[in-house]
């Protein structure tokens, strides 16, 4: 068990999240993909704090903060999605292209 | 007193200028109450003053060496432009001639322009001409001669274009300006090119330089050719002669001046530059060629004209051609004498015919006739003008033509032939005009034709008297050759050629056995002469066509290429904006993708040095 494996897993998770963010048509799935990104970051933080800073474990504190903020952000994100849904009766990301050129 | 007047003779052009500027207020737009007549009277007084001044100065200058006055004009960086005023019997004599003719023409104009409101403009332009010509005669500097010639070109444009509501006047004024301007521009090239060669523009110094100058014959040939181009346009020589024909659209009184003095302004410069021209035989031959072709061609054309004023204008071109021949064969005195005798006779002819035009309305000689019984004074004036112009002893031009042919008799006999031919042809054409105007039976247009009123007859009669007295004047100034040294053969030939031309013409036009109007057996030749060798078409098909095509091409290049390149830059920016705005797709996910791509590319670029080469090695 080495640091690199954790980092590679986190990177892979990040990439999957990015792929989801960019390709999903459902707005809720975009939010879910963002959660994947944040979790990939959390994995990184935890891995670093375990292998490099096992005394003061500042990474774990960061992770706690990230989880907290991610929860708040998800709440706001879902609220936004709901607000849009109320107006436009859809959550299809491709219907939200009103602010173009 | 007269000595003082001699020293201040440079004031003579200023009188005329003052007169010209005083005439302007009586333009119809400024002083409305008095009418335009005071403009004429003011000018008449100023011209008379300048005539008196120069006439008294002429007496004082007799048997005196020429003096020179210098008025500094501009001195910059090694170039010293000083106006040199030459006071000699010749230049003051020129002043007397110009002021005298101008005075008579202005009296004539007071009669002729009676029903016209444009006196302010007309008389101020006449004053400008008088000032310009006087200044030209006094000026002893090529550069300032050029300046004056250009001002006179502008004056011609304005004076020919006096009645600008007529379309032919507008085109005539345009052609007069552009044709003379072309000649003047070549003259400017010559003037500028002679400075590095001679280092002076003073005529006297130019003559001294020319005496012992050793210059490249090609260079001096080209410079001199440019220098004769100016007088060529001024003197209405082939091929720059069309303007004088079209300038006949202007009022008659100005024609008096133009035919007698203005065209001679080119001849004056030519005579002054004669020492320079003598350096290059090519130029002398060119002048003789131009002069001979113009003299013969224009006198032939004059025979075929039906417009009274144009008949006379081509005779003027022909006589200026003779002046060209005289200068080309280095005979300044003959040239100046010819200019003098031609000026007074031509002015008399124009005055006589101008009076006829004034109350017969038409200028078409085929519609006039039978005036002799009712217009004796005009008739006599025309006869005397004719005899004074052709070689008819003892009147003026005979002596000028004698002096010219006398030298040529030995050196270039064929030129004597040309002079005799021109003399005979001019005699023919002038007699033809006389017979058509005064002979025969009255026609519809000349049925009732009283003699004109005094302001037109008076100057005519005074000038008539002067033309008759000219031989006596020349005799008293000992300008005539003595009877003993006279070449009798030449004299007889000249007299015979005149008699020959006059009598043939009189027989043809006064007798009834040839039906009028006369048709030559060759219609083409008659038309060729009547339309002056189709010169307008010739201009239109060569120079005008060329310039027009180049102008259109340049305009097209300007519009399409130059404008196009600049506009293309603008269009490219607009199209760029129009095309690139679609990058703002409105899709949030696309923006996210763009951000990611940006970050990745920047990251790849920054970290390239740590992995790039290995990566490339791995692939290739």
* CA atoms A55, A59, A65, A71: torsion sign: negative
Distance from CA of B567 to the nearest CA of A (A): 25
* CA atoms A32, A34, A36, A39: torsion sign: negative
Model confidence at A18, pLDDT cuts 50, 70, 90, reads very high
Strand-pair partners of B69:
B85
**Averaged pLDDT for residues B243-265:** 80
Q: How far apart are the first and last CA of chain B?
A: 113
State the complex-level ipTM: 0.90
Tell me what pLDDT residue B213 has.
81
What's the per-residue H, E or C state across B91-156? HHHHHHHHHHHHHHHHHHHHHHCCCCCCHHHHHHHHHHHHHHHHHHHHECEHHHHHHHHHHHHHHH
> Does the pLDDT value for residue A35 go beyond 90?
yes
Tell me what pLDDT residue B369 has.
86
> E strand or H helix at B87, and its extent?
strand B79-87
Contact residues, chain A, for B584 at CB < 8 Å: 100-101
Contact residues, chain B, for A94 at CB < 8 Å: 587
Distance from CA of B572 to the nearest CA of A (A): 19
Distances in whole angstroms, Cα of residue B396 to Cα of each of B334, B387, B401: 12, 9, 9
Query: Where do we find the tokens 């009076």?
Result: B355
Instruction: Check whether the bond before B239 is cis (ω within 30° of 0).
Output: yes
> Does the pLDDT value for residue B547 go beyond 90?
yes
> Does the pLDDT value for residue B486 go beyond 80?
no
Q: How far apart are CA A20 and CA A14, in angstroms?
A: 10
Tell me what pLDDT residue B99 has.
92
Tell me what pLDDT residue B484 has.
66
Nearest to B586 among A18, A30, A99 (CB): A99
Model confidence at B280, pLDDT cuts 50, 70, 90, reads confident
Minimal-distance CA residue of chain B relative to A96: B587
* Of the listed ranges A40-49, B141-150, B252-261, the one predicted with least confidence: B252-261
Q: Which is nearest to B524 in space by CA: B238, B304, B239, B293?
A: B304
Contact residues, chain B, for A24 at CB < 8 Å: 589
Tell me what pLDDT residue B51 has.
94
> Does the pLDDT value for residue A76 go beyond 90?
yes
Higher local confidence (pLDDT), B516 or B602: B602
**Averaged pLDDT for residues B347-357:** 91
Minimal-distance CA residue of chain B relative to A27: B589
Inter-residue contact B327 to B274 (CB < 8 Å) = yes
Write the pLDDT tens digit of every residue in B289-307.
999 999 999 999 999 999 9
Tell me what pLDDT residue B323 has.
93
Nearest to A98 among B581, B586, B596 (CB): B586
Q: How many CB atoms lie within 10 A of CB B461?
A: 17
> Does the pLDDT value for residue B12 go beyond 70?
yes
> Does the pLDDT value for residue B480 go beyond 80?
no
Write the pLDDT tens digit of every residue in B185-219.
999 999 999 998 888 898 988 889 988 888 888 88
Tell me what pLDDT residue B71 has.
86
Nearest to B585 among A21, A24, A100 (CB): A100
Which residues fall within 8 angstroms of residue B518, CB to CB, at 6 or more apart?
A: B508
Model confidence at B483, pLDDT cuts 50, 70, 90, reads low
Write the pLDDT tens digit of every residue in B311-345.
999 999 999 999 999 999 988 888 999 999 999 99
Burial status of residue B504 (CB atoms within 10 A of its CB: 0-12, 13-18, 19 or more) = middle
**Averaged pLDDT for residues A9-22:** 95
Tell me what pLDDT residue B104 has.
93
Write the pLDDT tens digit of every residue in B424-465.
999 999 999 999 999 888 888 888 888 899 999 999 999 999
Distance from CA of A27 to the nearest CA of B (A): 10
Q: How far apart are CA B42 and CA B309, in angstroms?
A: 28
Q: How far apart are CA B475 and CA B510, in angstroms?
A: 36
The mean of the pLDDT values for chain B is 90
Model confidence at B572, pLDDT cuts 50, 70, 90, reads very high
Q: Is A94 on the interface with B (CB under 8 A)?
A: yes
> Does the pLDDT value for residue B485 go beyond 90?
no
% residues pLDDT > 90 (chain B)? 55
pTM for this structure? 0.83
Higher local confidence (pLDDT), B435 or B254: B435
> Does the pLDDT value for residue B264 go beyond 90?
no
Write the pLDDT tens digit of every residue in B104-134.
999 999 999 988 888 999 999 999 999 999 9
Return the residue in B589, B590, B591, B600 with the most chain A beta carbons within 10 A, the one to mutate for interface testing.
B589
Model confidence at B404, pLDDT cuts 50, 70, 90, reads confident
């Amino acid at each position: 068990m080495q640091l690199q494996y954790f980092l590679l897993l986190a990177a892979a998770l990040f990439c999957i999240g990015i792929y989801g963010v960019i390709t999903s048509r459902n707005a809720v799935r975009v939010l879910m993909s963002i959660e994947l990104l944040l979790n990939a970051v959390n994995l990184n933080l935890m891995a670093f704090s375990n292998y490099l800073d096992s005394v003061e474990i500042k990474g774990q504190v960061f992770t706690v903060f990230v989880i907290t903020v991610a929860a708040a952000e998800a709440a706001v994100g879902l609220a936004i999605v709901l607000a849009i849904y109320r107006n436009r009766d859809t959550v299809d990301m491709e219907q939200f292209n009103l602010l173009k050129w | 007193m007269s000595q003082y007047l001699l020293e201040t003779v440079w004031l003579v052009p200023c009188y005329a200028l003052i007169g010209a500027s005083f005439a302007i207020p009586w333009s119809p737009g400024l002083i409305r109450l008095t009418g335009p007549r005071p403009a004429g009277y003011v000018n008449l007084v100023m011209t008379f003053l300048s005539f008196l001044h120069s006439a008294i100065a002429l007496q004082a200058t007799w048997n005196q060496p020429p003096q020179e006055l210098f008025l500094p004009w501009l001195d910059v960086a090694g170039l010293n432009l000083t106006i040199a005023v030459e006071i000699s019997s010749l230049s003051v004599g020129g002043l007397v001639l110009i002021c005298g003719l101008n005075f008579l023409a202005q009296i004539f104009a007071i009669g002729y322009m009676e029903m016209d409101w444009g006196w302010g403009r007309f008389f101020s332009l006449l004053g400008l001409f008088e000032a310009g010509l006087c200044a030209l005669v006094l000026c002893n500097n090529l550069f300032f001669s050029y300046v004056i010639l250009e001002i006179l070109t502008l004056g011609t444009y304005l004076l020919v274009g006096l009645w600008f509501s007529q379309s032919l006047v507008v085109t005539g004024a345009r052609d007069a300006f552009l044709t003379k301007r072309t000649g003047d521009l070549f003259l400017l090239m010559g003037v500028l090119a002679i400075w590095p060669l001679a280092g002076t523009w003073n005529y006297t110094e130019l003559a001294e330089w020319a005496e012992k100058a050793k210059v490249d014959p090609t260079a001096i040939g080209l410079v001199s050719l440019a220098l004769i181009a100016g007088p060529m346009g001024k003197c209405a020589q082939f091929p720059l002669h069309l303007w004088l024909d079209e300038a006949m659209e202007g009022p008659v009184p100005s024609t008096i001046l133009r035919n007698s003095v203005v065209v001679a302004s080119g001849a004056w410069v030519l005579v002054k530059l004669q020492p320079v021209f003598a350096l290059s035989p090519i130029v002398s031959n060119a002048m003789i060629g131009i002069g001979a072709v113009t003299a013969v061609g224009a006198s032939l054309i004059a025979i075929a004209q039906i417009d009274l004023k144009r008949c006379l204008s081509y005779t003027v071109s022909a006589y200026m051609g003779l002046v060209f021949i005289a200068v080309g064969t280095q005979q300044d005195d003959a040239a100046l004498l010819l200019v003098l005798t031609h000026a007074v006779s031509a002015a008399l002819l124009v005055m006589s015919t101008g009076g006829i035009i004034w109350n017969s309305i038409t200028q078409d000689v085929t519609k006039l006739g039978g005036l002799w019984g009712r217009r004796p004074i005009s008739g006599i004036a025309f006869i005397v003008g004719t005899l004074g112009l052709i070689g008819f002893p003892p009147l003026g031009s005979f002596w000028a033509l004698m002096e010219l042919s006398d030298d040529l008799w030995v050196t270039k006999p064929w030129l004597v032939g040309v002079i005799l031919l021109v003399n005979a042809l001019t005699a023919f054409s002038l007699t033809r005009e006389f017979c058509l105007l005064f002979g025969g039976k009255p026609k519809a247009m000349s049925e009732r034709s009283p003699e004109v009123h005094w302001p037109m007859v008076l100057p005519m009669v005074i000038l008539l008297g002067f033309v008759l007295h000219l031989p006596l004047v020349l005799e008293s100034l000992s300008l005539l050759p003595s009877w003993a040294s006279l070449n009798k053969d030449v004299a007889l030939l000249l007299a015979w050629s005149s008699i020959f031309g006059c009598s043939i013409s009189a027989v043809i036009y006064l007798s009834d056995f040839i039906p009028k109007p006369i048709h030559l057996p060759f219609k083409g030749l008659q038309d060729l002469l009547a339309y002056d060798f189709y010169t307008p078409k010739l201009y239109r098909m060569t120079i005008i066509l060329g310039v027009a095509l180049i102008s259109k091409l340049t305009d097209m290049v300007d519009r399409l290429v130059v404008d196009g390149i600049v506009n293309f830059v603008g269009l490219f920016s607009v199209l760029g904006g129009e095309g690139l705005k679609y990058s703002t797709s409105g899709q949030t996910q696309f923006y996210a993708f763009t951000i990611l791509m940006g970050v990745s590319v920047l990251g790849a670029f920054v970290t390239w040095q740590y992995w790039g080469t290995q990566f490339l090695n791995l692939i290739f």
